[in-house]
Amino acid sequence: MSLIGIQIETPLEALANGLREAAWELALEAVEEGLAGETLPSLAELDALSRLGDIPSFIAELAREIADPQPSRLLPESPFLALGREHARRREELGFAPREVLTEFLVLRRVLWRALSQRRELLDAVDPLLVEHRLDSAFDRLVIECAVAFFDRATEELAERARCDALTGLLNHQTFWKEVRSELQRAHRYGHGVAFVFIDIDWFKAINDTYGHPIGDRVLRGVADVLRNDLRESDLVGRTGGDEFAVCLVESDPQAGRIFVERLRELVASLAADHDVPDGLTVSAGCAHFPTEAASAEALFELADTRLYEAKRSRKL
């Protein structure tokens, strides 16, 4: 009988195919091991399907690496490592700590090596250290890639926190003024107009004294939400003091600031219905336009501040 055309499975291929065929069972075993002894406490909060996540797909990819290792499979842009990063991101969204995600990979590695070790006749036909090296190399790259992704996200979050006011989420004082000056430089260079607005919450001290600081904080967050939601993505808004805000309307005409202030007063007046803040909440504002009313940054800020003072004074009369 001729054997021409018949492909004989190598021991490595048999080991890999065994993992692929048992992928779901091995994934379930890894989940059960993660649940035991609260190794992965966040797993207990998920339903059965969510607990599996992408683990069966990982097993299939790892099996390919055991049978036929490819350097391209372990590059950062490879589908395998992209799958790992996405799995880690989804686990974080489900409440997993980074340590739990990395532990989950280590549990899976232990389960897979145990499954391979049970096929002793195939392991003896190859070098067991070779198989273990391939498995470990893949997991090492997976863990490193996820750890780097965690670090990058944490760095981005810290950088964002450093830019933003903790209470309102708006740009903080330092970041706002830095970006406004950069925007004014661009406006001068390209001949754009910029409307600048100072905003102050009226009688804010009385609100704190009468209703307490938690209500005062709610007022600040409510005004911040109005500002954030009413502006274009290209505009700048920051909290510049205790109850003080400032807005920079980029590429705006001389009327933009006045129109914005009128709309802002209407939106703030309606806050009581949606944000549980005291009735009658109002704000005062002063606006100025670059370059039609002020030819420099200092002149722009001074004019807007003067008009804010005049607006607040008129409300107290």
- Cα 56 to Cα 26: distance, rounded to the nearest angstrom: 8
CB distance 246 to 178 below 8 Å:
no
Residue 115: C-alpha distances to residues 109, 111, 227 (Å): 10, 6, 58
CB distance 243 to 201 below 8 Å:
yes
Collapsed DSSP state (helix, strand, coil) of residue 75: coil
Rg, Å, the chain Cα set: 30
Q: Which listed residue (209, 243, 274, 305) is catalytic?
A: 243
Give the tokens for residue 31: 């989940």
- List the beta strands (DSSP E) in 104-204: 194-201
- List the beta strands (DSSP E) in 96-221: 194-201
287: left (phi over 0), alpha (psi -120 to 50) or beta: beta
End-to-end CA distance of the chain: 110
The string over 71-83, giving b where at least 16 C-beta atoms fall within 10 Å of a residue's C-beta and e elsewhere, is eebbeeebebbee
Task: Give the DSSP H/E element, type plus range, for residue 110.
Answer: helix 98-117
Collapsed DSSP state (helix, strand, coil) of residue 194: strand
CB distance 39 to 33 below 8 Å:
yes
243 an active-site residue?
A: yes
Which are the catalytic amino acids? Answer: 243
